[in-house]
């Protein structure tokens, strides 16, 4: 059973079915409301002649600021090229240059061009279109669309299936959670509203650990102050093609291709110093044909990026933390696996390297699908674990933005500990426990990294205690 029909869930379902499994795929929201569908820049893989998995690994480790689980990053960097070829075999057509060679984009933190894209900046849409058509026509995959997983079923301490909607129970050998991230827990976000971490709460209720919840990436360039486009993401690849950032007086203030956390902080410092609500992205020198859907979306909102600068500010974008799992997606609960953005293998450390997340969906999606095949037949009687997760209120989202935003301190985080939403409280507890600043987690009361916390992941146990652990 796979819960979630984004890149990770669709690919895992296809991989399991290719091995002869019968798969049920549950998806709460329409395809166009997944983060995967919205992905613009592309997927990172060492495909260029001047690139290698070793170089990709070095960049991933550098971006993750001493917290990347090296074994997970090695798996990603070594296996991403093969998963890219799988996608090509499935019919995804990636963009080529005018000589017919694969066109690779450059994004922040990457030292070479290694981001494969499709339809310019419509990568997610192109991939999902292909994968969902394959899933829909596959005899061994049953699609339960518009249905929500409301609890995991437990039998003898193992996950034995999923409760759907008001009470339908489905048993399965293995349940693969692919429910996406939790960035919509913050009020200003690039994510679809469904990305509020329901899978994390389902897994937690079943007894799985959650890890690294204090690390949420704020994307530097989300549109602000443009009606109908609040939070709309302008891909980092646009800066890779030469777009520049300017303050209100037109001055450049940062190297636009530094890793995301650094660029986001430079933007906030500039906004604060000048008392301005945004900075300006100048993409007038970039070929509009390279990013057709970004340009079209802005033009629809009355702003022409070929002629004028675009007002941008950081927004919450990607949660590095999630359901703690091993390199095959296995969680602490037997029969329960997690993949894609809801999972935390430790791969991204304190700061995800741009475009590593789509690759993660395919690399670890396949691994988990294969590993789930070996689980035993479930017991016939199983009971739901916990209540259905509910979405955060507007007040919770504002509070999370205010108290667990780009910069945090103990006072604000303690206030967030009293929030009614369980995930907001867990984010606060994890951020409070990490008394240092590292990557995406910046504490104004602990402004420096603590070397004693290198390679130490924060894990929230089922009883709510945050501990720091080293992962092999
Ligand atoms: C605007 C934007 C641009 C991005 N660009 C890039 C990029 O260029 N490159 C890159 O690598 N990454 C990018 N990312 C990040 C990347 O898209 C995501 O990390 C990745 O797509 C997550 O895929 P997923 O399959 O884990 O989750 P999602 O694609 O979010 O899918 C989650 C699925 O789970 C379902 N679901 C959730 N809860 C339940 C439930 N309780 N019951 C049933 N179904 C449920 C949802 O309906 C959905 O089908 C971008 C993200 C955004 C928001």
Helix axes 7-18, 123-136, angle to 10 degrees: 40
Output the pLDDT for position 41.
86
Q: What is the largest CA-CA distance in the chain?
A: 68
Distance 242 CA to ligand 1 centre (A): 27
Q: Among the residues of 215-355, which ranges form H helices? A: 236-240, 260-274, 292-300
> 271-309 pLDDT, tens per residue?
999 999 999 999 999 999 888 889 999 999 999 999 999
Q: In angstroms, how far is CA 192 from the centroid of its own chain?
A: 12
Distance 272 CA to ligand 1 centre (A): 31
pLDDT over 70 for what percent of the chain? Answer: 100
Measured CA to CA in angstroms, residue 181 lies from 64, 199, 280, 317, 356 at distances of: 18, 8, 28, 9, 14
Pocket test for ligand 1, best of 36, 83, 198, 359 (most atoms within 8 A of CB): 36
Residues forming a β-bridge with 466: 460
Q: Does position 419 have pLDDT exceeding 90, yes or no?
A: yes
Output the pLDDT for position 319.
97
Atom of ligand 1 nearest to the CA of 123: 8
The pTM assigned to this predicted structure is 0.96
Phi/psi zone of residue 130: left (φ > 0), alpha (ψ -120 to 50 degrees), beta?
Answer: alpha
Output the pLDDT for position 235.
87
Burial of 167 (0-12, 13-18, 19+ CB in 10 A): exposed
Q: Whose CA is nearest to atom 50 of ligand 1?
A: 39
Between strands 336-338 and 310-319, the pairing is unpaired
Between strands 23-27 and 2-3, the pairing is parallel
Q: Taking CB atoms and a 6 Å cutoff, what residues make up the pocket around ligand 1?
A: 3-9, 26-29, 34-36, 38-43, 123-124, 148-149, 178-181, 190-191, 194-195, 198-199, 233, 318, 340-342, 355, 357-358, 361
Other C-beta atoms closer than 10 Å to the C-beta of 464 total: 11
Q: Whose CA is nearest to atom 17 of ligand 1?
A: 36
315: its two tokens? 């927004």
Atom of ligand 1 nearest to the CA of 41: 8
Atom of ligand 1 nearest to the CA of 343: 26
Q: Whose CA is nearest to atom 14 of ligand 1?
A: 39
Active-site annotation, residues: 260
Q: What is the mean pLDDT of residues 398-411?
A: 97
Burial of 156 (0-12, 13-18, 19+ CB in 10 A): exposed
> 169-193 pLDDT, tens per residue?
999 999 999 999 999 999 999 999 9
Atom of ligand 1 nearest to the CA of 181: 30
Dihedral sign of CA atoms 324, 330, 333, 337 in order: positive
Measured CA to CA in angstroms, residue 54 lies from 62, 327, 388 at distances of: 12, 18, 43
Output the pLDDT for position 167.
86
Distance CA 231, CA 221 (A): 9
């Amino acid at each position: 059973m796979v819960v979630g029909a984004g890149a990770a869930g669709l690919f895992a379902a296809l991989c399991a079915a290719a091995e002869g499994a019968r798969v049920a795929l549950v998806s709460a929201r329409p395809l166009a409301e997944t983060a995967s569908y919205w992905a613009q820049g592309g997927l990172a893989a060492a495909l260029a002649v001047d690139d290698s998995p070793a170089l990709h690994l070095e960049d991933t480790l550098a971006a993750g600021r001493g917290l990347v689980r090296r074994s997970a990053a090695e798996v990603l960097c070594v296996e991403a090229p093969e998963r890219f070829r799988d996608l090509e075999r499935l019919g995804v057509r990636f963009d080529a240059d005018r000589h017919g060679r694969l066109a690779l984009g450059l994004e922040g933190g990457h030292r070479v061009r290694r981001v494969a894209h499709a339809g310019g900046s419509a990568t997610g849409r192109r991939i999902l279109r292909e994968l969902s058509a394959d899933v829909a026509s596959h005899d061994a995959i049953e699609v339960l669309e518009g249905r929500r997983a409301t609890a995991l079923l437990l039998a003898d301490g193992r996950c034995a299936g999923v409760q759907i909607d008001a009470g339908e129970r489905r048993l399965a050998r293995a349940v693969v959670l692919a429910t996406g991230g939790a960035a919509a827990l913050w009020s200003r976000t690039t994510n679809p509203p469904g990305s509020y971490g329901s899978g994390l709460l389902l897994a937690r209720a079943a007894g799985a650990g959650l890890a690294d919840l204090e690390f949420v990436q704020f994307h530097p360039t989300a549109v602000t102050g443009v009606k109908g486009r609040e939070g709309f993401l302008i891909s980092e690849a646009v800066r890779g093609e030469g777009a520049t950032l300017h303050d209100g007086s037109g001055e450049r203030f940062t190297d636009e291709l530094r890793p995301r956390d650094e660029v986001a902080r430079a933007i906030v410092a500039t906004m604060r110093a000048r008392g301005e609500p945004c900075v300006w992205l100048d993409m007038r020198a970039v070929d509009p044909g390279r990013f057709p859907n970004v340009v079209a979306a802005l033009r629809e909102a009355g702003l022409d990026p070929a002629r004028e600068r675009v007002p941008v500010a950081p927004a919450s974008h990607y949660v590095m933390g999630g359901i703690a799992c091993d390199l095959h997606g296995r969680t602490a609960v037997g029969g329960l696996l997690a993949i894609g953005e809801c999972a935390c293998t430790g791969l991204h450390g304190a700061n995800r390297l741009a475009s590593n997340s789509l690759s993660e969906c395919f690399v670890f999606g396949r691994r988990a699908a294969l590993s789930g095949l070996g689980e035993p037949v479930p017991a016939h009687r199983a009971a739901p674990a916990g209540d259905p997760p509910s979405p955060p209120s507007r007040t919770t989202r504002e509070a999370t933005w205010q108290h667990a935003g780009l910069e945090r301190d103990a006072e604000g985080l303690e206030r967030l500990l009293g929030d009614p939403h369980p995930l907001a409280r867990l984010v606060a507890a994890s951020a409070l426990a990490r008394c240092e600043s590292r990557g995406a987690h910046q504490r104004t009361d602990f402004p420096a990294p603590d070397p004693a916390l290198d390679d130490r992941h924060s894990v929230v146990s089922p009883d709510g205690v945050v501990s720091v652990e080293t992962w092999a």
